């Protein structure tokens, strides 16, 4: 049976892992490569790197980072953050990443998803969608959560899956960094609507939160701070999930 | 010398990293002379089938591969290209193994088949030496080869499909050994010692 996946997420700035709360207040969590290696040995199923470096040298530092990460881990990883063209995608995949995630660029140019899926295959294209509950429902945010769009959460997710994204990484901005659990309502609606794997993100604080998300139909659960500061060990989490009847790779 | 076929089909870096770890003597090349004189060939594969076949054709590699008599390993799309034809881009493949590649049924399962899944070994096969039955491997694909007489391991995803196939010196794995942690490294080690 296909196992449910546990995915540590590394928000990277200038090669260092940082983690914020509700998308702000970053604090340093160490070297990205060292942390990646640790997660590989602890049994992570996959890793996600979101590069938030803003410098002009960004592309070069990102390629170096991907090459270094690829040389120490033997599990798949996704890279996202500022990827906005087929050339960017090609650079990232050729450096050793398995998938790329598109967020702001996909909203601004939805055709990029279909072009990328056609060239690299859907399995390499992850649509990252940041949502926030507003008075008129869930809205999609871009530019690292700074800018609200007109797009409604569920319909945008449906659209990206139709355009060819092979996976949806859904992050609840309301939940991110709060450790109050994933946005179960949204996830359970999303998995009914789309036919691609869904990665739940934002809000993990306890082992039970992962169980809730998997029971709601998530294919994978992502968490950052919880793992970075060793509040929860991946093995301990997986053993718990296994005991609760969730199929995991032990 | 192992030749990794460079045909622009994505992630060769990961296969190269594993070969480096194993201190293997390898070259990444699209040159037909270099490839035909190799002791082993690896055909990695991330990408789209019809364009991959076009590139192999432009590189004059189709006959080189068909006539190769030493161990050959196709990974993911590289395995599918060994087959007769594929629904992906409605392409004719290398037709080394006479089976077809189909798309997963969206009504039955999520597509792509993405993540770690268990395989069942169905034929005693040197490639799987040291691998326990029901081991997990990493898959990322939307097309599959049904179970057939060339199947060496089976994976369940809505239906039973071939997680690996073999015909004579041609080995194919649908999963990514280079991304399947220690189990995957063992597969590549086994291939190197063929």
Domain harbouring B46, CATH code: 3.40.50.880
Residues B184/B191, Cβ–Cβ less than 8 Å: no
- pTM over the 0.90 mark: yes
For CA atoms B124, B129, B134, B136, the dihedral sign is negative
Q: Which of B13, B21, B104 best probes binding to A when mutated, by most A CB atoms within 10 angstroms? A: B13
Q: Domain range holding B61?
A: 2-192
Name the domain count of chain A: 1
Residue that has been written with the tokens 């060819």 in this structure: A164
User: How do residues A26-79 score in pLDDT, each as one tens digit?
Assistant: 556 678 899 999 999 999 999 999 988 766 677 778 899 999 999 999 999 999
Q: What is the pLDDT of residue A54?
A: 67
Nearest by CB: A3 against B112, B117, B156: B117
Nearest by CB: A3 against B18, B46, B116: B116
CA-nearest of B178, B91, B100 to B140 is B178
Taking CB atoms and an 8 Å limit, are B115 and A220 in contact across chains?
yes
Within-domain flag for A94? yes
pLDDT tier for residue B48 given thresholds of 50, 70 and 90: confident
Within-domain flag for A17? yes
Domain harbouring A50, CATH code: 3.20.20.70
pLDDT tier for residue B9 given thresholds of 50, 70 and 90: low
Residues of A in contact with B20 (CB under 8 A): 71
Q: Domain range holding A173?
A: 5-243
Q: What is the spatial distance between Cα A56 and Cα A14, in angstroms, rounded to a whole number?
A: 11
Name the domain count of chain B: 1
Q: What is the pLDDT of residue A20?
A: 54
Question: Would you call A59 exposed, middle or buried from its count of C-beta atoms within 10 A (0-12, 13-18, 19+)?
Answer: middle
User: How do residues A7-32 score in pLDDT, each as one tens digit?
Assistant: 999 999 888 888 655 555 555 667 88
Residues of B in contact with A195 (CB under 8 A): 106, 110-111
Within-domain flag for A97? yes
The mean per-residue pLDDT over the stretch B99-108 comes to: 92
Residue that has been written with the tokens 């718990």 in this structure: A240
Taking CB atoms and an 8 Å limit, are A98 and B46 in contact across chains?
yes
CA A248 to chain centre: 19
Residues B81/B174, Cβ–Cβ less than 8 Å: no
pLDDT tier for residue B138 given thresholds of 50, 70 and 90: very high
Q: What is the pLDDT of residue B80?
A: 97
């Amino acid at each position: 049976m296909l196992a449910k996946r546990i995915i540590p997420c590394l928000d990277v700035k200038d090669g260092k892992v940082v983690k914020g709360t509700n998308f702000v207040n970053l604090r340093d969590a160490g070297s990205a490569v060292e942390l990646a290696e640790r997660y590989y040995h602890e049994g992570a199923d996959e890793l996600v790197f979101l590069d938030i470096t803003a410098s002009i040298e960004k592309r070069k530092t990102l390629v170096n980072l991907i090459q270094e990460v690829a040389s120490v881990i033997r599990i798949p990883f996704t890279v996202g953050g500022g990827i906005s063209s087929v050339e960017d995608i090609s650079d990232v995949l050729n450096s050793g990443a398995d998938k790329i995630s598109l967020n702001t660029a996909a909203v601004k140019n939805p055709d990029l998803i279909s072009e990328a899926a056609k060239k690299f295959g859907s399995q390499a294209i992850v649509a990252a969608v940041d949502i926030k509950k507003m008075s008129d429902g869930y809205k999609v945010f871009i530019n690292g959560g700074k800018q609200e769009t007109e797009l409604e959460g569920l319909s945008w997710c449906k659209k990206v899956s139709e355009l060819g994204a092979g996976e949806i990484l859904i992050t609840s901005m309301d939940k991110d960094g709060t450790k109050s659990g994933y946005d179960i309502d949204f996830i359970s609606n999303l998995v009914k609507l789309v036919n691609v794997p869904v990665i739940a993100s934002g809000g993990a604080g306890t082992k039970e939160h992962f169980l809730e998300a998997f029971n709601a139909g998530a294919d994978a659960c992502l968490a950052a701070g919880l793992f970075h500061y060793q509040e929860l060990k991946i093995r301990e989490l997986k053993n718990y999930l296994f005991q609760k009847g969730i199929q995991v790779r032990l | 010398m192992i030749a990794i076929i460079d045909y622009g089909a994505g992630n060769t870096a990961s296969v190269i990293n594993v070969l480096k770890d194993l201190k293997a003597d390898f070259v990444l090349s699209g040159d037909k002379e270099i490839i035909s004189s190799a002791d082993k060939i690896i055909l990695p594969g991330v990408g789209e089938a019809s364009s991959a076949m076009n590139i192999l054709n432009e590189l004059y590699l189709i006959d080189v591969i068909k006539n190769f008599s030493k161990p050959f390993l196709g990974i993911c799309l590289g395995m599918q290209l060994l087959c007769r034809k594929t629904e992906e881009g409605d392409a004719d493949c290398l037709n080394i193994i006479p089976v077809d590649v189909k798309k997963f049924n969206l009504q039955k399962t999520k597509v792509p088949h993405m993540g770690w899944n268990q395989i069942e070994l169905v034929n005693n096969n040197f490639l799987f030496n040291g691998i326990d039955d029901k081991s997990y491997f990493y898959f990322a694909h939307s097309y599959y080869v049904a179970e057939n007489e060339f199947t060496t391991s089976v994976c369940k995803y809505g239906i039973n499909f071939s997680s690996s196939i073999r015909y004579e010196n041609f080995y194919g794995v649908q999963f990514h050994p280079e991304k399947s942690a220690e189990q995957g490294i063992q597969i590549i080690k086994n291939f190197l010692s063929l």
